[in-house]
Structure 1
């Protein structure tokens, strides 16, 4: 099966499609760095670096399956979605590129990934109607990456669109959870002493609460409720990996942030997947990515149906 990947980013959708046995023939993103590393990891794929709302879809090769992960920041509660915010309004509008691409090529299927709040977008009913006008029925699936062998709790929406009379609800096998201990390397990273001058009292309070709950080795996010107040056991999947450093590793009297390699493993990418050498760029790409094993399971199940 031939696929194209819109808003390809770090390449999680493309990697999952490859794992499922599909061929990714074309991928695009507006960020040159993302395109550079997508091409490095998927050298057999044709690439375009452009604003997809201005794309000439007639230049895209024929395909059977459209994969798309339009910008989620305007929908995500982590970034806010206030009406009238020009940046967020522009972010939400990227979803219309999916409609334009589907109109041109009418592939047998499409999978659109976003945060679950995407379905609460004021224009979601119009977007859904536009896809239906092209002959697609839509089946929303809200999936947690931890149910697909990824050592991370990451809940995302996958809309399966097919040219069928009835919406195609996929039956996906639930896999055993994988703990964070599988990817945390206590011999890696740059450590610092926890109790040092200038350390935030809030950080010290979180570490103290984590020690009381989990002992001397655990994870602690730098903000947020839940695990942000109590720490997180290494024997369960980590919480959501974001585009900026969030998770710290606590080991006795020392602490550090996750390395880019640990973030890559937490997202379910292969260990040899190439990333930018600059830590912040690698983390940004990973935090925006689709977890490849989730994409693999969705695409495999869809390929068996169409």
Structure 2
């Protein structure tokens, strides 16, 4: 049985991805009381501490674990954020997390694996300096590390690329099959390659290119996850649906017309975005996609950040907000997972989470092979 710490735990989606068969949570932390209530509703009492990570010390962390996972806040690293990066109030919580890791290292309780997850904006934040700073923390701590960009669309019908930085403690065994000589187009994006090249050599001396197998083809499309009669949102009136269509550009209206002519029910995902028209005037547009994949879920900071769906069957067109259960399904959560009863809270929980099958893929093909190999195999040099 492997053991882990889960920081910035939210509703426990990392815990869901690791699974209860091979993994046991020793400690979890989140500062949000509403998310903590859902975590406890699904995972029980005992492991979760609801507190600001800045108030924690190594005394709160019992024993030595195989994995420490941190999905620290993305707001200051997001391309839509204010650009504060790791100096921001939210994304800057990476540093108190790393202080905890340094305390564990000094006490000879260093986690065998440390995994970070965040938005891909981390790669370009402050002209790549924030990514380089994270690399330096792993290098200075003596961890062999590398990064991957994984789009959840390989596993669930949601476009959601995320950055994963994974380090293995110096001296731990790394099976040779888990490291490749060169980056892979599937897992190492152009943005990651650029960030790696721009990181000073001293910050990537322990860098490796992690190797993951290609996942099986996804067997679901967006329409498979849609509820006919959701409990928390209502279908729009015909007038409101017409208003939504009127907000579309010619290009997006053409997509709807093509969906009407098709011989199957199609479900489109819509976000409202502010665009500049031909006269230089800012207008709000409804932009739709019919590629069987939802847009990336975001936290509902405003009306424009809530995703809508457009169901087209022949000449019949209906629209509404995406439901809370649908957002959970897009994150790979089972229907028995308990959600908040409040719509915005359910949406926020999902939009802030980690896609469950992505975590499982990492656990099955990277974490668990490393941990099962240790300490019998020799470490593969970076």
Assess same fold via TM > 0.5: yes
TM-score, scaled relative to structure 2 = 0.71
> Which residue pairs with 1:187 in the alignment?
229
Q: Given the alignment of the two structures, is residue 264 of structure 1 paired with residue 306 of structure 2, yes or no?
A: no
> Which residue pairs with 1:213 in the alignment?
258
Aligned partner of 2:213 among 169, 172, 177: 172
Q: Given the alignment of the two structures, is residue 120 of structure 1 paired with residue 124 of structure 2, yes or no?
A: yes
TM-score, scaled relative to structure 1 = 0.88
Q: Given the alignment of the two structures, is residue 283 of structure 1 paired with residue 347 of structure 2, yes or no?
A: yes
Tell me, in whole angstroms, the C-alpha distance in 2 between the residues paired with 1:171 and 1:200: 42
Tell me, in whole angstroms, the C-alpha distance in 1 between the residues paired with 2:329 and 2:370: 30
Change (3 A) 1:200 1:218: closer
Shift of the alpha carbon at 1:160?
Answer: 0.9
Tell me, in whole angstroms, the C-alpha distance in 2 between the residues paired with 1:285 and 1:225: 25
Is the CA contact (8 Å cut-off) linking 1:172 and 1:298 kept in structure 2?
A: no
Show structure 2 runs of 5+ residues with no match. Answer: 105-109, 172-205, 276-284, 301-305, 372-382
SS at match of 2:89: helix
Higher CA-based Rg: 2
Q: For 1:272-291, what per-residue CA distance to the aligned partner results, in whole angstroms no more than 9, with x for missing partners?
A: 11111000001001100000
> Which residue pairs with 1:69 in the alignment?
71
Is the CA contact (8 Å cut-off) linking 2:270 and 2:287 kept in structure 1?
A: no
Change (3 A) 1:131 1:262: same
Tell me, in whole angstroms, the C-alpha distance in 1 between the residues paired with 2:20 and 2:140: 32
Tell me, in whole angstroms, the C-alpha distance in 1 between the residues paired with 2:238 and 2:311: 9
Shift of the alpha carbon at 1:94?
Answer: 1.1
Q: Given the alignment of the two structures, is residue 231 of structure 1 paired with residue 280 of structure 2, yes or no?
A: no
Tell me, in whole angstroms, the C-alpha distance in 1 between the residues paired with 2:241 and 2:67: 55
SS at match of 2:349: helix
Shift of the alpha carbon at 1:37?
Answer: 0.8
Change (3 A) 1:111 1:45: farther
Tell me, in whole angstroms, the C-alpha distance in 2 between the residues paired with 1:197 and 1:128: 48
Structure 1 residues 1-306: aligned runs within 5 Å: 1-18=2-19, 21-43=22-44, 45-62=46-63, 63-81=65-83, 89-105=88-104, 106-121=110-125, 122-147=129-154, 149-164=155-170, 167=208, 169-177=210-218, 178-188=220-230, 189-196=233-240, 199=243, 202-203=246-247, 205=249, 208-215=253-260, 217-224=266-273, 231-233=288-290, 236-244=292-300, 245-251=306-312, 252-301=316-365, 302-306=367-371
Change (3 A) 1:279 1:125: same
Q: How many aligned positions are there?
A: 300
Change (3 A) 1:27 1:212: same
Tell me, in whole angstroms, the C-alpha distance in 1 between the residues paired with 2:238 and 2:83: 35
Show structure 1 runs of 5+ residues with no match. Answer: none
